[in-house]
Amino acid sequence: MIAGVCTGLAAHLHLDVRWLRVAFIAAAVLAKGTGLLAYLAFWALLPLDPHEASTAHPRTRGLGALLVTSVLAVVGIVTLTALGFTSWLGTLLPLILGSLGIALVWSRADEVQRMQWRREAVGLARDAAGDGGRREAWPLVLGAGAVLTAIVGIALTRVDVGTMLQGLATTLLLIVGLLLVAFPWLNARWRREVERRAARARADERAEMAARIHDSVLQTLTLVQRHADDAPQVQQLARAEERELRAWLYGEPRGAVAFAPLLERAAHEAEARYGVTVDVITVGDVPVDAPVEALLAAAQEAMVNAARHSGAPSVQVYAEVEPDTVSVFVRDRGRGFRMEDVPTDRAGVRESIVGRMQRAGGSATVRSAPGAGTEVALLLPRGRTA
Amino acid sequence: MKAADALRVVIVDDHAMVRAGVRAELEGVVASVAAADGVASGIALVRAQQPDVVLLDVHMPDGGGLAVLRACQDQLGSTAFLALSVSDAPADVIAAVRAGARGYVTKSIAGPDLVDAVARVANGDAVFSPRLAGFVLDAFMGEAADADEELDRLTPREREVMRLLARGYTYKEIAAELVLSVKTIETHASAVLRKLQLSNRRELTRWATARRLA
- A280-297 pLDDT tens trace: 999 888 888 888 988 998
The pLDDT > 90 percentage for chain B reads 40
pLDDT at B114 over 60: yes
Residue of B nearest to A376 (CA): B167
Residue of A nearest to B166 (CA): A318
Among A113, A104, A128, residue whose Cα is nearest residue A45: A104
The pLDDT > 70 percentage for chain B reads 93
**Which residues of chain B does A282 touch, with a Cβ-Cβ cutoff of 8 Å?**
134
CATH number of the domain within which B34 lies: 3.40.50.2300
pLDDT at residue B205, as a whole number: 77
* B141 at interface of A, judged by CB pairs closer than 8 A: yes
pLDDT at residue A163, as a whole number: 74
**Which residues of chain A does B166 touch, with a Cβ-Cβ cutoff of 8 Å?**
281, 283, 318, 320
In tens, the pLDDT along B46-99 reads 999 999 999 999 888 888 888 899 888 888 888 999 998 877 677 778 888 888
> Taking an 8 Å Cβ-Cβ cutoff, which residues of chain A contact chain B?
246, 250, 279, 281-284, 316, 318, 320, 329, 331, 375
Number of A/B CB contacts below 8 angstroms equals 35
Return the SS3 of A317. Answer: strand
Among A34, A45, A30, residue whose Cα is nearest residue A75: A34
Return the SS3 of A308. Answer: helix
Residue of B nearest to A314 (CA): B168
| Residues B130 and A279: beta-carbon distance below 8 Å | yes
**Which residues of chain B does A375 touch, with a Cβ-Cβ cutoff of 8 Å?**
167
Task: Mutation target for A interface from B167, B169, B170, B211: give the one with most A CBs within 10 A.
Answer: B167
In tens, the pLDDT along A171-198 reads 888 888 888 888 888 888 888 999 999 9
Among A115, A128, A138, A127, residue whose Cα is nearest residue A56: A115
- Interface contact A318-B163, CB threshold 8 A: yes
Distance set, CA A114 to CA A59, A110, A121, B69 (Å): 11, 6, 11, 60
Mean pLDDT along residues A95-118: 64
The distance of B46 to chain A (nearest Cα, Å) reads 32
pLDDT at residue A295, as a whole number: 92
* B90 at interface of A, judged by CB pairs closer than 8 A: no
Given pLDDT bands bounded at 50, 70 and 90, which one contains residue B160?
A: very high
- For A271, half-sphere exposure in the C-beta direction (CA atoms, 13 angstrom radius) is 25
- Between CA B44 and CA B71 the distance in angstroms is 10
* DSSP secondary structure string for all residues of A139-173: HHHHHHHHHHHHHHHHHHHH--HHHHHHHHHHHHH
In tens, the pLDDT along A296-305 reads 989 998 998 8
- Interface contact B167-A316, CB threshold 8 A: yes
| A287-291 CB contacts, 8 Å cutoff, 24+ apart | A287/A257, A287/A258, A287/A259, A288/A257, A288/A258, A288/A259, A288/A262, A289/A385, A290/A360, A291/A360, A291/A361, A291/A362, A291/A380, A291/A384, A291/A385
**Which residues of chain B does A374 touch, with a Cβ-Cβ cutoff of 8 Å?**
none
Given pLDDT bands bounded at 50, 70 and 90, which one contains residue A256?
A: very low
pLDDT at residue A78, as a whole number: 64
The set of residues, in sequence order, having a beta carbon less than 8 Å from that of B50 and lying 6+ positions away, is: B75, B78, B79
- Order of all β-strands in the sheet with B32-36: B32-36, B8-12, B53-57, B80-85, B103-106, B127-128
- Between CA A331 and CA A337 the distance in angstroms is 13
DSSP structural state of residue A287: B
The pLDDT > 70 percentage for chain A reads 57
The distance of A265 to chain B (nearest Cα, Å) reads 17
Given pLDDT bands bounded at 50, 70 and 90, which one contains residue A58?
A: very low
* B111 at interface of A, judged by CB pairs closer than 8 A: no
Mean pLDDT along residues A268-279: 86
- Between CA A71 and CA A73 the distance in angstroms is 5
Indicate the residue of B131, B133, B141 with minimum beta-carbon distance to A284.
B141
Q: Decide which of A244 and A339 is more confident.
A: A244
Indicate the residue of A279, A283, A329 with minimum beta-carbon distance to B138.
A283
Mean pLDDT along residues B160-185: 93
Q: What angle do CA A285, A309, A326 make, to 5 degrees?
A: 15
pLDDT at A385 over 50: no
Among B146, B96, B148, residue whose Cα is nearest residue B126: B96
Q: What is the mean pLDDT of chain A?
A: 73
Domain housing B138: 4-210
Indicate the residue of B89, B130, B138 with minimum beta-carbon distance to A279.
B130
pLDDT at A4 over 70: no
Return the SS3 of A382. Answer: coil
- Interface contact A318-B138, CB threshold 8 A: no
- Interface contact A331-B138, CB threshold 8 A: no
Do the strands A374-381 and B80-85 form a parallel or antiparallel pair, or are they unpaired? unpaired
Indicate the residue of A246, A281, A284 with minimum beta-carbon distance to B130.
A281
| Residues B2 and B122: beta-carbon distance below 8 Å | yes
Domains and CATH numbers, chain A: 5-158 (no CATH), 255-385 (3.30.565.10)
pLDDT at residue B5, as a whole number: 81
- Between CA A66 and CA A56 the distance in angstroms is 17
Do the strands B103-106 and B127-128 form a parallel or antiparallel pair, or are they unpaired? parallel
Indicate the residue of B89, B134, B141 with minimum beta-carbon distance to A281.
B134
pLDDT at B184 over 90: yes
| A220-228 CB contacts, 8 Å cutoff, 24+ apart | none
Given pLDDT bands bounded at 50, 70 and 90, which one contains residue A377?
A: very high
Domain count, chain B: 1
Output the 3-class SS for chain B: CCCHHHCEEEEECCCHHHHHHHHHHHECCECEEEEECCHHHHHHHHHHHCCCEEEEECCCCCCHHHHHHHHCHHHCCCCEEEEEECCCCHHHHHHHHHCCCCEEEECCCCHHHHHHHHHHHHCCCCEECHHHHHHHHHHCCCCCCCCCHHHHCCCHHHHHHHHHHHCCCCHHHHHHHHCCCHHHHHHHHHHHHHHHHHCCCHHHHHHHHHCCCC
